[in-house]
């Protein structure tokens, strides 16, 4: 095949070959498609930027796509031990007297459950399960954000929620994510909620992302934010060590539950 073949068609064939092999080196692509090394690298960078492949030293591997997200009530049985440990570790980062925003999702809900003994704590949230977990607890002031209810996640999202967020500042934000990748940062499944989550990330002096090891090296549909947006990453002991080392090099604090 000539190097002058239209690039999108060649990239489509590279993806097909990658799907069969799982990994391709630049040298293999040069030989297979009779193109220069520079052209091969440009093709791989394009595929990586589209979330269709993951760049590694000397080549590319297939990007592991995050599976479709189940409703929150169905996800409560997934990675139960890991989520409980991560939630506890994330909660330990919250001190008495602070104001914290808790996002939606099962891992953040676990963090909420471990905050019940805090004193003079203010919790702001757009998550109905978090509201239920902390309602009526002495020494915790709970502030709910309104908006459109996303029934599968039981979270409030949209314009009304984002307008309220624009007027808030908190000490810390705890949020989950559907996928976290060195190439593609933090990603989520549902674009309307992702827009609300972006607004949440802007209000915290410290941003804590809590996610179990199954979210690492996964890419979901919608870009949430770059990795540098988070200050602390809380995960479990099964997390890939090389990945965590890469986050540390970016100045991100790692907490292993």
Q: How do residues 62-106 score in pLDDT, each as one tens digit?
A: 765 545 554 554 555 556 788 899 999 999 999 999 999 999 988
pLDDT for residue 8:
82
pLDDT for residue 12:
86
Q: Specify the DSSP element, H or E, that contains 107.
A: helix 106-113
Q: Pairing state of beta strands 185-188 and 179-181?
A: antiparallel
The domain made up of 72-256 is a member of CATH 3.40.50.1360: yes
Mean pLDDT of 29-43: 88
Which residues, in sequence order, are CB contacts of 48 under 8 Å at separation 6+?
54, 55, 60, 63, 183
Rounded to two decimals, what is the model's pTM?
Answer: 0.72
pLDDT tens readout for residues 127-182: 999 999 999 999 999 999 999 999 888 899 999 999 999 999 999 999 999 999 99
Whether 72-256 and 7-62 are alike in CATH topology: the answer is no
pLDDT for residue 60:
79
Closest CA to 217 of 61, 27, 20: 61
- pLDDT band for 120, please (50, 70, 90 cuts): very high
Mean pLDDT of 205-229: 92
Surface-to-core class of residue 4, CB atoms within 10 Å of its CB (0-12 exposed, 13-18 middle, 19+ buried): exposed
- Could you tell me the two tokens for 40? 């091969």
The number of beta carbons lying within 10 Å of the beta carbon of residue 236 is: 19
- pLDDT at residue 116 greater than cutoff 60: yes
Q: Measured between alpha carbons, how far is 51 from 254 in angstroms, rounded to an integer?
A: 25
Q: Where are the chain's structural domains?
A: 7-62, 72-256
Residue percentage of the chain with pLDDT more than 70: 90
CATH class of 7-62: mainly alpha
Asked whether the beta carbons of 125 and 136 are under 8 A apart, the reply is no
Question: For residue 170, which phi and psi values (nearest 5 degrees)?
Answer: -130, 160
Closest CA to 56 of 18, 89, 92: 18
Which residues, in sequence order, are CB contacts of 69 under 8 Å at separation 6+?
75, 152, 178, 189, 190, 220
């Amino acid at each position: 095949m000539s190097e002058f073949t239209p690039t999108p068609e060649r990239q489509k064939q590279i993806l097909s070959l990658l799907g069969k092999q799982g990994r391709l080196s630049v040298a293999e692509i040069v030989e297979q498609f009779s193109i220069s090394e520079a052209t091969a690298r440009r093709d791989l960078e394009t595929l990586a930027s589209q979330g269709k492949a993951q760049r590694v030293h000397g080549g590319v591997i297939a990007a592991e796509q995050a599976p479709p997200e189940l409703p929150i009530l169905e996800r409560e049985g997934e990675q139960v031990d890991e989520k409980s440990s991560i939630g506890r570790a994330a909660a330990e980062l919250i001190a008495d007297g602070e104001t914290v925003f808790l996002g939606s999702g099962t891992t953040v809900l676990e963090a909420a459950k471990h905050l019940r003994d805090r004193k003079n704590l203010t919790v702001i949230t757009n998550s109905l399960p978090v509201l239920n977990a902390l309602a009526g607890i002495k020494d915790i002031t709970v502030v709910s954000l309104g908006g459109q209810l996303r029934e599968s996640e039981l979270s409030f999202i949209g314009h009304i929620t984002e307008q309220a967020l624009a007027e808030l500042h908190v000490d810390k934000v705890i949020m989950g994510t559907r996928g976290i990748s060195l190439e593609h940062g933090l990603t989520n499944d549902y674009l309307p909620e992702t827009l609300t989550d972006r607004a949440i990330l802007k209000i915290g002096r410290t941003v804590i992302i809590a996610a179990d090891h199954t979210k690492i090296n996964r890419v979901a549909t919608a870009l949430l934010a770059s990795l540098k947006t988070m200050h602390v990453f809380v995960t479990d002991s099964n997390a890939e060590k090389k990945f965590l080392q890469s986050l540390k090099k970016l100045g991100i604090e790692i907490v292993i539950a």
